[in-house]
Amino acid sequence: MSQFWKPGSEKPRLLDDEEGGVLFYSASASSSSGFGYSNIEKQRQRLPVYKYRTAILYLVETHATTIIVGETGSGKTTQIPQYLKEAGWADGGRVIACTQPRRLAVQAVASRVAEEMGVKLGEEVGYTIRFEDLSKTGVTMVKFLTDGVLLREMMDDPLLTKYSVIMVDEAHERSLSTDILLGLLKKIQRRRPELRLIISSATIEAKSMSTFFQTRKRRGLEGEESGPRTDPAILSVEGRGFNVQIHHIEEPVPDYLQAAVSTVLSIHEQEPMGDILVFLTGENDIDAAVQLLNEEAQNNGKHSSGLVVLPLYSGLSRADQDLVFSPTPRGKRKVVISTNIAETSLTLEGIVYVVDSGFSKQRFYNPISDIENLVVAPISKASARQRAGRAGRVRPGKCYRLYTEEYFVNEMSAHAIPEMQRSNLVSCVIQLKALGIDNILGFDWPASPSPEAMIRALEVLYSLGVLDDDAKLTSPLGFQVAEIPLDPMISKTILSSNQLGCSEEIITIAAILSVQSIWVSARGAQRELDEAKMRFAAAEGDHVTYLSVYKGFIQSGKSSQWCYKNFINYHAMKKVIEIREQLRRIAQRLGIVLKSCERDMEVVRKAVTAGFFANACCLEAHSQGGMYKTIRSAQEVYIHPSSVLFRVNPKWIIYNSLVSTDRQYMRNVISIDPSWLMEAAPHFYRQQRNPIAS
Ligand code: ADP
Ligand code: MG
């Protein structure tokens, strides 16, 4: 346990040391569940933003754009929309919007605000995330939504006329959708001077945001203007806070997961009570850590008795989310193992210790190979500080970094690169096109995307038949693809299934590909999970396998028992049913005939090819280890072990997505006939005919 961590020789550091200035983290009241209204009122007044209530309302009244910077937990997200509502910004049927980059944050924050306002979620306070709308037109006054959903709403209402104030929250994350949204909102502002924007974030180069929203006034109009000032206001909310001692490890650790688990155990052994928040990267390593800690509790009770171990990631069910937010039972210590969602989006009460792996899952895109990956990559210094700050909310805390101080100082980058500059831009381009923005390269971006990535996106959309020679959306295909709230490749697959007569099957597949995973994690029983998968496995690949799972689930009467027995995630399957229902409605609206192909899986595979031809791969003839090469850029890729085609290795396949760990792994794979590629995308494969003909 101590090979990486020497409690005796630790060099405690205060956050001030590394910052060159004192950092404060806000402290506030504890969880409210079960307390009365007045208690909630008191808690609200204790939050740091409360002191700024009047200032915020004044700035919003008088400025088109207000930038608010405040530490996580100071009350920006939960309070400001309420202040706006109290001040009348939702009167006369208008709506206050607050966007978040993450779905789970939208749900959690909306439900908290509904609770604080004493209303039922979905009425005065509602939320909308993709495939889930808990808001009522004419009733909902404060609406939380993902920035992606607000972008979609612009397709029906380009000026977002129903909103009086739009608060773009968590702007420091610089998610792809946030940046697109900021660019578009700046345009809308010119047409709707009465609209107010609030840009809020935990840390932001407020200056650069301010410069971005600085609009030059047209000469001649200045004297007559009666509207709000166009230069943005900047307000900084001071938090009250406690010091956080930072501990770095002495030597780099070979395995951050193991290191995180033993650090939790040594904190539990040696440190006074207080909850622990552990930052790992994703569902897999989080579930593994939960399991290791639970095993520890069973085998070696004395180290771990009294630990309540809970995961926190976006695929979590509502019940599991509630557990994370509920108060820790007396005499117990809660350990929440989280993705970076707990870094700034959500505030957990009672955290005193933070264990920071130094990693998170990040999107990276290489426009040359046109490959986008979710990669476990080192976080930035800014993230590391945010994570540490989570320990200082209720009292002085400690942060254990599973990386060396030298690494922090010399190797970590200061800030993360905006997602715009490391993403595949296909969805972004199609959305802007659908909004009638044709000069995409000349668009006013908060951070310009790389021209290569832009050109790649245009190429892919052109090859999908979504854009024409003038880079305009084609009719009807381009407009239809833009209408479906999915990746354009899946949307195209759905549209192609219409002629192929397999829309029912493809819609099922699209719904399943929209949830994280329909399998439960192995629960330490990898063999049983593999056997369960084998019961459904189809020789054609994962997509067809999913069809059998779906069929089995329906035949079982949507039984949770059946799911449990088959290692299938019941919660995910229920979600699939909901998404499927919505996709059917969208398909009908687009004039797609809902039809089943019964047992003819060839048409299903052809439909997938029609959308995903760009992801075709061929098995390397003489490779031993199942190595494939992508057709378009000859990248080395392998079938992911979770795929039913792992070790089967058919010659020609198409993948849905790539994940990269030690290798590039293809997830969700289906076998195809190479002749279909030429059928699906002749212009795309014309220059590359040779590999297919061989
Ligand atoms: P910010 O957006 O500035 O990070 P929030 O508005 O999200 O801050 O949170 C303000 C405070 O509200 C938190 O410090 C916490 O005490 C409380 N809070 C937020 N969400 C919840 C929740 N789901 N359960 C209990 N308390 C919460
Ligand atoms: Mg917030």
pLDDT digit string (tens) for 52-65? 999 999 999 999 99
Position with higher pLDDT, 525 vs 382: 382
* Ligand 1 atom with minimal separation from the 111 CA: 23
Residues spanned by CATH 3.40.50.300 within the chain?
37-237, 244-419
Which H or E run contains 321? helix 318-325
Residue 694: the pLDDT is 42
Residues spanned by CATH 1.10.10 within the chain?
424-482
- If one counts every other C-beta atom within 10 angstroms of the C-beta of residue 227, the result is 10
Residue 28: CB within 6 Å of ligand 1?
yes
DSSP string for residues in 210-222: HHHH--PPPTTTG
120, burial (CB in 10 Å: exposed 0-12, middle 13-18, buried 19+): exposed
* Ligand 1 atom with minimal separation from the 109 CA: 20
* Residues contacting 465, CB < 8 A, separation 6+: 474, 477, 478, 492
- State how beta strands 65-70 and 132-134 pair: unpaired
Quick one: average pLDDT of 196-221? 75
- Contact in structure between 671 and 657 (CB atoms under 8 Å): no
- Contact in structure between 237 and 52 (CB atoms under 8 Å): yes
C-alpha count within 13 angstroms, C-beta hemisphere, residue 682: 1
Question: Ligand 2 mean position to 612 CA, how many Å?
Answer: 37
Residue 69: the pLDDT is 93
Ligand closest in space to the Cα of 79: 1
Of 20-24, 285-289, 497-501, 688-692, the range with the lowest mean pLDDT is 20-24
Ligand closest in space to the Cα of 112: 1
* Residues contacting 406, CB < 8 A, separation 6+: none
Query: Is residue 384 pLDDT above 60, yes or no?
Result: yes
Ligand closest in space to the Cα of 168: 2
Residue 108: CB within 6 Å of ligand 1?
yes
- How many distinct helices (H) and strands (E) make up the chain? 28, 22
Q: How confident is the model at residue 379 (pLDDT cuts 50, 70, 90)?
A: very high
Question: Ligand 2 mean position to 441 CA, how many Å?
Answer: 32
Query: Is residue 68 pLDDT above 90, yes or no?
Result: yes
What is the distance between the alpha carbons of residues 643 and 650, in angstroms, rounded to a whole number?
A: 12
Position with higher pLDDT, 9 vs 430: 430
Residue 522: the pLDDT is 64
Q: List residues, by chain if needed, whose CB lies under 5 Å from ion ligand 2.
A: 77
% of the chain beyond a pLDDT of 90: 68
Residue among 49, 102, 238, 347 whose CB has most ligand 1 atoms within 8 A, to mutate: 347
* Residues contacting 154, CB < 8 A, separation 6+: 160, 184, 435
Nearest residue (CA) to ligand 1, atom 18: 347
Tokens read off for 413? 């980058």
* Ligand 1 atom with minimal separation from the 345 CA: 4
Rg of the chain in Å (alpha carbons): 26
Residue 262: the pLDDT is 94
Residue 22: the pLDDT is 28
Sign of the torsion formed by the C-alpha atoms of 158, 164, 170 and 174: positive
* Ligand 1 atom with minimal separation from the 169 CA: 2
Q: Which fold has domain 244-419?
A: Rossmann fold (3.40.50)
Nearest to 117 by CA among 150, 90, 92: 90
Residue 523: the pLDDT is 60
Query: Is residue 88 pLDDT above 90, yes or no?
Result: yes
Nearest to 601 by CA among 493, 506, 464, 488: 506
Position with higher pLDDT, 223 vs 179: 179
Residue 3: the pLDDT is 46
Look up the CATH number of domain 424-482: 1.10.10
Question: Ligand 1 mean position to 416 CA, how many Å?
Answer: 25
Residue 82: CB within 6 Å of ligand 1?
no
Residue 73: CB within 6 Å of ligand 1?
yes
Query: Is residue 219 pLDDT above 50, yes or no?
Result: no
Superfamily of chain region 37-237 = P-loop containing nucleotide triphosphate hydrolases (3.40.50.300)
Residue 70: CB within 6 Å of ligand 1?
yes
Ligand closest in space to the Cα of 50: 1
Residue 403: CB within 6 Å of ligand 1?
no
Average pLDDT of the chain is 88
- If one counts every other C-beta atom within 10 angstroms of the C-beta of residue 229, the result is 13
Question: Ligand 1 mean position to 47 CA, how many Å?
Answer: 9
Model pLDDT for residues 431-490, shown as the tens digit of each residue:
999 999 988 888 998 889 989 999 989 988 999 999 999 999 999 999 999 999 999 999
Query: Is residue 108 pLDDT above 80, yes or no?
Result: yes
What is the distance between the alpha carbons of residues 426 and 405, in angstroms, rounded to a whole number?
A: 39
Model pLDDT for residues 386-405, shown as the tens digit of each residue:
999 999 988 899 999 999 99
What is the distance between the alpha carbons of residues 208 and 539, in angstroms, rounded to a whole number?
A: 54
* Phi then psi dihedrals of residue 604, to 5 deg: -60, -45
Alpha-carbon distances, residue 66 vs 235, 444, 491, 675 (angstroms): 7, 19, 37, 56
Residue 480: CB within 6 Å of ligand 1?
no
Residue count (the chain): 694
Position with higher pLDDT, 113 vs 347: 113
* Residues contacting 561, CB < 8 A, separation 6+: none
Query: Is residue 100 pLDDT above 90, yes or no?
Result: yes
Question: Ligand 2 mean position to 611 CA, how many Å?
Answer: 37
Percentages (nearest 5) of helix, strand, coil residues in the chain: 45, 20, 35
Model pLDDT for residues 250-279, shown as the tens digit of each residue:
999 999 999 999 999 999 999 999 999 999
Which H or E run contains 654? strand 652-660
Nearest to 72 by CA among 393, 326, 327: 393
What's the gap between Cα 156 and its chain centre?
24
* Residues contacting 614, CB < 8 A, separation 6+: 370, 460, 463, 489, 632, 681, 684
What is the distance between the alpha carbons of residues 140 and 435, in angstroms, rounded to a whole number?
A: 26
Residue 240: the pLDDT is 66
Q: How confident is the model at residue 14 (pLDDT cuts 50, 70, 90)?
A: very low
Quick one: average pLDDT of 105-126? 96
Residue 163: the pLDDT is 98
Query: Is residue 689 pLDDT above 50, yes or no?
Result: no
Query: Is residue 220 pLDDT above 70, yes or no?
Result: no
Quick one: average pLDDT of 173-194? 94
Q: How confident is the model at residue 2 (pLDDT cuts 50, 70, 90)?
A: very low
Residue 5: the pLDDT is 44
- Contact in structure between 401 and 247 (CB atoms under 8 Å): yes
Catalogue the E-assigned strands of 424-527.
none
Query: Is residue 561 pLDDT above 60, yes or no?
Result: yes
Quick one: average pLDDT of 515-533? 82
Question: Ligand 1 mean position to 77 CA, how many Å?
Answer: 8
Q: How confident is the model at residue 304 (pLDDT cuts 50, 70, 90)?
A: low
Residue 204: the pLDDT is 61
Nearest residue (CA) to ligand 1, atom 5: 75
Quick one: average pLDDT of 33-44? 69
Query: Is residue 28 pLDDT above 60, yes or no?
Result: no
What is the distance between the alpha carbons of residues 117 and 407, in angstroms, rounded to a whole number?
A: 45
